[in-house]
Amino acid sequence: MKNLLKYLNEVLGIQVTANPIGKSHQGQLPIYVIETFKLYNINLFSKDVVFAELKNAEGLSVLQIEKQLKQINKQLNKIVVVVLENIQAYNRKRLIEKHINFIVPGKQMYLPDLLIDLRESYHRNDTNKETLMPSAQLLLIYHILSSDLNWKIEEYPFKDIAQKFGYTSMTITKAIENLKSHELIEVFGQKEKLIQFRYNKKALWEKVKKDNLFVNPVLKTIFVDEKPNGLLLLKSNSSALPTFTNLNPSNQLYYAIEKDEFYALKKSNELANANPIEGKYALEIWKYKPLSIVAELTVVDPLSLYLSLLSNSDERIEMALEQILEKYVW
């Protein structure tokens, strides 16, 4: 429940309190419901909502979850949201198809009864096909850009890849599973597994773009009056474009910061006058670790930069983005 409250605060910007459902209300519910869920009351946007935290997802089907949530809704007459620690892609799709409210803290918030559908690690498009996980996108972009570098992802086992990019072994394993699920790589080997991409870099980029698998690396932008101390921040947005294109630098200074680092600074009150409107420095909070491959660690990589600015309608930036593709993909 602690992770849920943190996620609600980070994504919705609200502080809420979770109160366990009283015994009198629990007594109205079948015993199997009480054994399956931990139930909490949370006031969300002036509505009393029951959050049903699944104790153990093993062996429980979406049909069973749907049936039990209906029982809770019927007895307590409140909107019910199931809280899941993790979820497989096919089950996530079924929950959405059935319009079942659910939250996977840190990954996805789907609350149709409250008209909310927010995703950080997943995205639903017209074909209901999930996008790349942020960590998977990082690996793919590095692979495309690493043709002139000595360190190649395809030459190292999972644990070395994790160490290279500063992720846990579990995160890299999930990222590789994500790439494999989209048929972008093959995995081989026994004791130490290796990966191999199925396309050359141009074909790989075109396939991922055609299938709408790319995600915008930027979660949100916050303005501050001073740069955070003790961090190597890479230039991003229009501050990075002059490195890769003939565009002149902007007056606003942009820097990329990984989301966990940002929230740590925010928690310790180390951000000077943080606000969403204006400031000397614009901090772009990224979903994955900002990666620099060129320019001696001063700017974010060109392809993540491209993806972060795709929705920008400025003609000068659109022309600059074409220059990036011509140089680093085509």
Looking at residue 295, its pLDDT comes to: 47
Distance between CA 61 and CA 272 in Å, rounded?
47
Entry pTM: 0.61
CA dihedral 225, 220, 161, 149 (to 10 degrees): -70
pLDDT of 127 strictly over 50: no
Question: Where do we find the tokens 């992720």?
Answer: 167
pLDDT of 138 strictly over 50: yes
Residue ranges of alpha helices (H) inside 31-168 are: 31-36, 62-76, 89-97, 134-145, 158-165
Confidence of residue 225 (pLDDT cuts 50, 70, 90): very high
Distance between CA 92 and CA 284 in Å, rounded?
29
Domains of the chain: 2-119 (3.40.1350), 134-210 (1.10.10.10), 218-328 (no CATH)
φ and ψ at 80, to 5 degrees?
A: -120, 135
φ and ψ at 218, to 5 degrees?
A: -90, 120
Distances (CA, A) of 130 to 107, 126, 134, 251: 12, 10, 12, 37
Nearest Cα to Cα of residue 114 among 67, 79, 68: 79
Q: What is the DSSP letter of 267?
A: H
Over residues 207-222, mean pLDDT: 92
Bridge-partner residues for 110, per DSSP? 102, 117
Please write the tens of the pLDDT for every residue from 310-321: 888 788 899 999
Percent of the chain with pLDDT strictly greater than 90 = 45
Please write the tens of the pLDDT for every residue from 32-59: 899 899 999 998 877 889 999 988 766 6
Please write the tens of the pLDDT for every residue from 89-119: 778 888 888 889 999 888 888 888 877 655 5
**Orientation angle between helical segments 201-210 and 134-145, nearest 10 degrees:** 150
